[in-house]
Structures are given as structure tokens and as C-alpha cells.
């Protein structure tokens, strides 16, 4: 079973690499680093803070977009070109195949996060700022985990429906979490109790921005251990749930021609 | 413990028992019965032709065997046991079109295939490399080992599909229109490879519309129509050998047979001065051909006769049209 998982993962990684998954990420990272450097030099706020605010926002959006688009595309392509049919004719279960696809995408996203970290360090070095320490690296690590959650969400929807709808559904679900957090903050004591509780629950469990710790990037010390660990574990639980459900659904669905 | 092919139990390699499959594409569209209680079996070491017009249920049958779709009722048995993911270890599948990722390289596909199936002849990295090299040489793709699949010609893609289906030496080979779109030379090679695989004892399920392939390669045939099995049998019993001769009428042929003490024909078709005789076996046809040639008649054709199956098939095709 592990051998089959390894082969599907390796093949997916190769396909995504040749599908130029790294190019947009690299181009975006360079653009973001340059834009953040320019913006920070023009800004009136603390330069380092502006650099991190713009840079991390750009990195987060780029990583999430790459995770969502390529997550949906890899499943859609396998259906479209029929390679899914041939791969599943081998001794690989449908559930395992999907997990392998997700692992291949995750490996690519981890590579993308390494590229971002290296480019960011280079930017800091060129601008003569302090290089990243453990708190900043932890921020990047959690951001990478957030991308993996986005990828799991994309794979989940790609299993259920066609690529265009899956992309729409993934972004909709992502924005639903983000907006619920904003609405939660805007609610007043006059808001009905039940509505407040419902919005708060959604914001607490489904706001995928919780993996973005950009506001803590410039702290000298590591963020508090317990809440950070909670976020990390929660991210892993979300991934496990989404991939397991997608895998279970995939196991029961017929593989039909595109 | 995983069974090795050598210890697979006797009996039919594959059995399909009362399988029914209905597709419901949409809640607003009517359900389509793809297979309506299909039962069939593949004899071990034999080649079975899966025939029928488009939409008869051939592809659905293949997908059911491969576990790509699940039956609504009935079951598929491999060596007497329900088909499972592990059973696919012994199956090779060549789809009608090259369903392989366009950006993978030729050698990569084969290497991945060996890693997935882990056949006994390719357990180490060195064995896998040798096996890939040998297979590529066999199908004439050695020069294209590092070419991406998307850049292969159709003929090369078919050869790769064949290599991918057979590199792990399967016990059951499922071929969906293996020679479709190939030029005559490539077609001949493909039929030769199938023949060689058959002589190695591989059980083959051949989905085709070409009667020449059926008569040349297959032992059994199964005809599907609208999800039902409408005919099945042994190819040899339904085909034979025929010869065409010009200048002889039916009366002439009868008199000729008496004087020469020749075996009786199975069927005689006449069109003006042309006569076509078909025989159950090669010997009878050969004796007639020799006798006719001795008397100076012109034998214009001598070859396989699969008209019985073909006419039956054509009638189904016409009804579907």
C-alpha cells in the first residue's frame, strides 16, 4: 500500500512540476518581494512592519491560489486525459490514489514555501534588514500549513464536481470563513444571541486565516506555545478530515469518462 | 499472503455473474441500462472477443472488471473470488486511446508501472531499469525513452500503451481496440504481439469491431447488444476456411466433387460465374483448391471465413443504426 502511495505521490509531483507549478509562485514571490520593498521605503509607518505586512499578505494569497488552482486542476486533468482510468486499473484503490495525489501536491507546496522563505531572506539581506529568526520562520511554517488546508479543500471539492465549480466552491468556502470572522468582530450586543453564537462558531472553526500569523511576525519572541500548537494540530485535523472524506466519497463513485 | 500467478487456482480466470449496471446521469434524465444481468466467463489461456455495436455495454464491462465502476447487482470473480484491488495485480489494461499523462516521459511511465505492480521479474532498481529497456526495445521506442508522451505520434502512443499494459506480465490482458488508428505495418506488429502474448498463456479479452482480428486471434466470442449477451461461442465452430473460384456453376461443382471424391462443403454462395465455397476446416478447403487448380480453374481467394459471426454482428449494427 505504501509503495502504491509513493508511486502516485511521485508521479503527481513530477506532473505538477512539469505543469510549471513553481513558475507562477516564483514570479509572484519576486514581484511581492520587490513591491513590498518599494512600498516599505515610501510608507510612513515602521518600514520593517510594512515590509512584512505586504510581503506576507502577498505570499499567503499566492500560496493559497496555487494550492487551490493546482489542487483542482490535477484531479480534473486526470479525469480529462483518462490517466485516472489507467492508474486505477493498477492495484491502487481509489481512496489511496486520491491521498497520493494530495501528498504530491503537498510536496510541491512545501517546495514553494521553501522558495518563498529563501527569497524573503534574500530581500531582507539586500535591504539590510535583520534576517528571519525562529518567530518569523514559525509564521512561514503556519502559513504553509494553511496552504495545505486550502489544497485539501480544493481536492475535496474537485472529487465532488467539475473543475470550474470546484474552484468556485473552494474560494466560496474560504471567503465564507474569512467573512464570518469579520462579521463576528462587527457584531454588537444587540445582535441576537443565537446568531452571534452561530457566526462565532463558524469564525472559530472555519476561518482559514487563523493560520496567518503575520501580525506576530515582528515579535522578538516565539508566539505562545499552546495556542500555536493548537492551530497547528487543528490544521492537521482539518486536512485529515477533508482528505479522508474526499477519499471515502471517491471510493464509492464510479470512474466515468470525461 | 499474495498469491503468485503460478498458484492461481484452476477454472475460469474471470467470471461475470448476473451483473446489472444502470447509469443515472441526471435526476431529470431517464436511467440508462448499460448491462442487464450479464453473465460470461473467460477461459484460462484463451482469447475472447468482446463484440457488439457501439453502446452495447463493452466498455462498461471492461470498467466493471477493472473495478472502475461498481455493479448495481451481480458480481465479478477473479479466479473464483470477488475482484479486489489485489486482483488487479494480475491484470493488464490497454485502453482504446493513450490515456496517459502528456507530460510524463515514456520510460517514466513504464518505471512507475513496474513500481506499482512490483512483478517478481522486476523487484530491484537494476531489474526494473533492464526490464524497461528491454520492453522499449521490443516495441521500438528505445530512441524515445525520454520523450514526453504528449509529443508521441499516435502509433508510438499505441505501442507505449501496449508496453504499459504488458510490462508486468499480466495473467489477464484486457485490450480495447488495440489496433485502432494504426497503419497496416503497425497493425501487423500489434497483432503479432497479441499472438505472442497468447502463446505465452495469457488470457486475453479483446474488444474489437474487426472480424479479421477475431478470426486470427480469438478462441471464443461474446456478442453484447444493449447490455444483453445475445450470442457467444467458440470462434472455430462459427468460422472456417473459404475459397472463391471463377467459371464454375453449382452443377459443375457437384459433378466435380463426385469425380474427385472431395469432401462436402459447408456452404456455397454463387454470383454469376463466381462461386464461393466455405469449409469447416482447412484440410477440406485445401483439397478442393488443389483439385480445382489441377483442372486449370482459377482460385481467386483462399482464406478465413468468419461470415457467420460477421453477418450476425452486422444485423445488430444495422438494427442499432
ipTM here = 0.80
Q: Residues in chain A whose beta carbon is closer than 8 A to a beta carbon of chain B?
A: 3-4, 6-7, 10-11, 14-15, 18-19, 77-78, 81-83, 85-86, 88-93, 252, 254-257
Confidence band for B321, pLDDT divided at 50, 70 and 90: low
Nearest CA in chain B to A77: B101
Alpha-helix residue ranges (DSSP H) falling in chain B:
58-65, 106-117, 125-138, 154-166, 184-199, 211-217, 235-238, 250-260, 282-294, 307-320
Distance from CA of A251 to the nearest CA of B (A): 10
> Do residues B175 and B194 lie in contact, with contact meaning Cβ atoms separated by under 8 Å?
yes
What's the confidence (pLDDT) of residue B258? Answer: 58
Rounded alpha-carbon distances, angstroms, from residue B1 to A247, B4, B7, B142, B259: 26, 9, 12, 36, 68
Q: Quick one: which of A66, A10, A7, A57 has its CA closest to A33?
A: A57
If one counts every other C-beta atom within 10 angstroms of the C-beta of residue B182, the result is 18
pLDDT at B29 over 70: yes
Residue to substitute from B99, B109, B119, interface A, most A β-carbons within 10 A: B99
The pLDDT of B70-93, averaged and rounded, is 91
What's the confidence (pLDDT) of residue A68? Answer: 94
- Name which of A13-17, B249-253, B290-294 the model is least confident about: B249-253
Domain carrying residue A62: 2-252
**Residues of B whose CB is below 8 A from A3:** 115-116, 118
* Tens of pLDDT, residues A33-56: 788 777 767 766 677 777 788 788
* Tens of pLDDT, residues A109-156: 999 889 888 888 888 888 787 888 888 888 888 899 999 999 999 999
pLDDT at A218 over 80: no
Confidence band for B9, pLDDT divided at 50, 70 and 90: low
Q: Which domains does chain B have, with CATH numbers?
A: 11-232 (3.40.50.300), 240-305 (3.30.70.980)
Residue scoring higher pLDDT (B205 or B239):
B205
With CB atoms and an 8 Å threshold, state whether A85 touches B89: no
Residue scoring higher pLDDT (B15 or B11):
B15
> Do residues B171 and B90 lie in contact, with contact meaning Cβ atoms separated by under 8 Å?
yes
**Residues of B whose CB is below 8 A from A85:** 63, 66, 68, 95, 99
Rounded alpha-carbon distances, angstroms, from residue B190 to B44, B131, B180: 22, 20, 10
Answer yes or no: is A186 within a domain. yes
pLDDT at A72 over 90: yes
pLDDT at B123 over 70: yes
What's the confidence (pLDDT) of residue B99? Answer: 85
Kindly report the average pLDDT of chain B as a whole number: 84
pLDDT at B104 over 50: yes
pLDDT at B248 over 70: no
**What is the distance between the alpha carbons of residues A48 and A68, in angstroms, rounded to a whole number?**
30
pLDDT at B2 over 50: no
Identity of the residue in A3, A18, A85 whose CB atom sits nearest the CB atom of B118: A3
Q: How many domains does chain A have?
A: 1
pTM for this entry: 0.83
Confidence band for B254, pLDDT divided at 50, 70 and 90: low
* Tens of pLDDT, residues B156-215: 999 999 999 999 999 999 999 888 878 888 888 899 999 999 999 999 999 988 877 887
Answer yes or no: is A97 within a domain. yes
The pLDDT of A97-101, averaged and rounded, is 94
Answer yes or no: is A257 within a domain. no
Residue to substitute from A4, A16, A80, A90, interface B, most B β-carbons within 10 A: A90
What's the confidence (pLDDT) of residue B6? Answer: 46
What's the confidence (pLDDT) of residue B226? Answer: 87
**What is the distance between the alpha carbons of residues A8 and A2, in angstroms, rounded to a whole number?**
10
If one counts every other C-beta atom within 10 angstroms of the C-beta of residue B226, the result is 18
The pLDDT of A94-101, averaged and rounded, is 93
Amino acid at each position: 500500500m505504501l509503495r502504491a502511495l509513493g508511486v502516485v505521490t511521485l508521479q503527481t509531483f513530477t506532473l505538477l512540476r512539469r505543469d510549471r507549478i513553481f513558475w507562477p509562485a516564483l514570479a509572484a514571490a519576486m514581484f511581492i518581494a520587490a513591491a513590498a520593498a518599494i512600498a516599505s521605503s515610501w510608507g510612513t509607518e515602521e518600514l520593517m512592519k510594512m515590509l512584512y505586512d505586504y510581503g506576507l499578505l502577498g505570499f499567503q494569497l499566492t500560496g493559497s491560489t496555487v494550492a487551490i488552482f493546482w489542487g483542482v486542476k490535477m484531479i480534473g486533468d486526470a479525469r480529462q486525459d483518462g490517466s485516472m482510468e489507467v492508474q486505477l486499473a493498477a492495484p491502487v484503490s481509489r481512496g489511496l490514489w486520491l491521498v497520493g495525489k494530495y501528498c504530491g501536491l503537498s510536496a510541491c507546496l512545501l517546495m514553494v514555501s521553501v522558495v518563498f522563505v529563501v527569497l524573503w531572506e534574500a530581500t531582507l539581506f539586500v535591504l539590510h534588514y535583520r534576517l528571519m529568526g525562529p518567530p518569523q520562520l514559525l509564521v512561514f511554517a503556519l502559513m504553509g500549513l494553511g496552504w495545505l488546508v486550502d489544497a485539501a479543500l480544493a481536492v475535496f471539492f474537485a472529487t465532488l464536481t467539475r473543475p470550474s465549480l470546484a474552484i468556485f466552491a473552494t474560494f466560496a468556502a474560504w471567503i465564507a470563513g474569512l467573512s464570518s470572522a469579520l462579521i463576528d468582530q462587527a457584531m454588537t450586543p444587540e445582535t441576537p444571541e443565537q446568531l452571534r453564537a452561530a457566526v462565532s462558531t463558524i469564525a472559530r472553526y472555519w476561518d482559514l486565516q487563523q493560520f496567518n500569523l503575520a501580525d506576530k511576525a515582528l515579535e522578538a519572541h516565539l508566539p505562545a506555545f499552546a495556542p500555536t500548537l493548537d492551530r497547528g494540530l487543528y490544521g492537521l485535523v482539518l486536512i485529515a478530515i477533508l482528505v479522508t472524506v474526499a477519499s471515502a466519497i471517491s471510493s464509492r463513485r464510479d470512474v466515468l469518462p470525461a | 499472503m499474495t498469491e503468485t500467478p503460478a498458484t492461481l487456482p484452476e477454472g475460469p480466470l474471470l467470471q461475470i455473474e448476473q451483473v446489472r449496471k444502470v447509469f443515472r446521469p441526471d435526476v431529470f434524465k431517464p436511467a440508462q441500462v448499460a448491462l442487464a444481468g450479464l453473465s460470461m466467463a473467460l477461459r484460462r489461456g484463451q482469447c475472447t472477443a468482446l463484440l457488439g455495436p457501439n453502446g452495447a455495454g463493452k466498455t462498461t464491462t471492461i470498467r466493471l472488471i477493472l473495478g472502475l465502476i461498481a455493479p448495481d447487482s451481480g458480481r465479478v470473480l477473479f479466479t473464483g473470488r470477488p475482484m479486489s484491488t489485489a486482483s488487479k495485480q494480475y491484470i493488464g489494461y490497454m485502453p482504446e486511446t493513450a490515456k496517459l499523462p502528456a507530460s510524463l516521459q515514456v520510460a517514466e511511465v513504464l518505471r512507475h508501472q513496474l513500481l506499482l505492480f512490483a512483478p517478481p521479474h522486476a523487484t530491484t532498481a537494476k531489474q526494473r531499469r533492464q526490464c524497461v529497456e528491454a520492453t522499449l526495445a521490443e516495441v521500438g521506442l528505445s530512441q524515445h525513452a525520454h520523450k514526453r508522451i504528449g509529443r508521441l505520434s499516435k502509433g508510438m502512443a499505441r505501442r507505449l500503451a501496449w508496453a504499459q499494459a504488458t510490462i508486468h506480465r499480466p495473467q489477464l490482458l484486457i485490450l480495447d481496440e488495440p489496433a485502432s488508428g494504426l497503419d497496416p505495418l503497425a497493425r501487423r506488429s500489434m497483432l503479432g504481439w497479441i499472438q505472442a502474448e497468447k502463446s505465452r498463456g495469457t488470457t486475453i479479452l479483446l474488444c474489437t469491431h474487426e472480424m479479421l482480428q477475431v478470426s486470427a486471434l480469438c478462441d471464443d466470442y461474446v456478442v453484447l447488444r444493449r447490455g444483453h449477451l445475445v450470442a457467444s461461442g467458440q470462434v472455430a465452430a462459427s468460422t472456417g476456411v473459404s475459397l472463391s473460384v471463377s467459371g464454375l456453376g453449382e452443377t459443375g461443382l457437384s459433378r466435380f466433387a463426385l469425380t474427385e471424391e472431395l469432401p462436402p462443403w459447408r456452404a456455397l454462395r454463387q454470383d454469376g460465374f463466381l462461386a464461393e465455397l466455405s469449409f469447416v476446416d482447412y484440410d477440406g478447403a485445401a483439397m478442393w483448391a488443389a483439385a480445382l487448380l489441377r483442372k486449370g480453374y482459377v482460385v481467386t481467394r483462399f482464406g478465413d471465413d468468419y461470415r457467420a459471426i460477421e453477418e450476425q454482428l452486422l444485423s445488430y449494427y444495422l438494427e442499432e443504426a
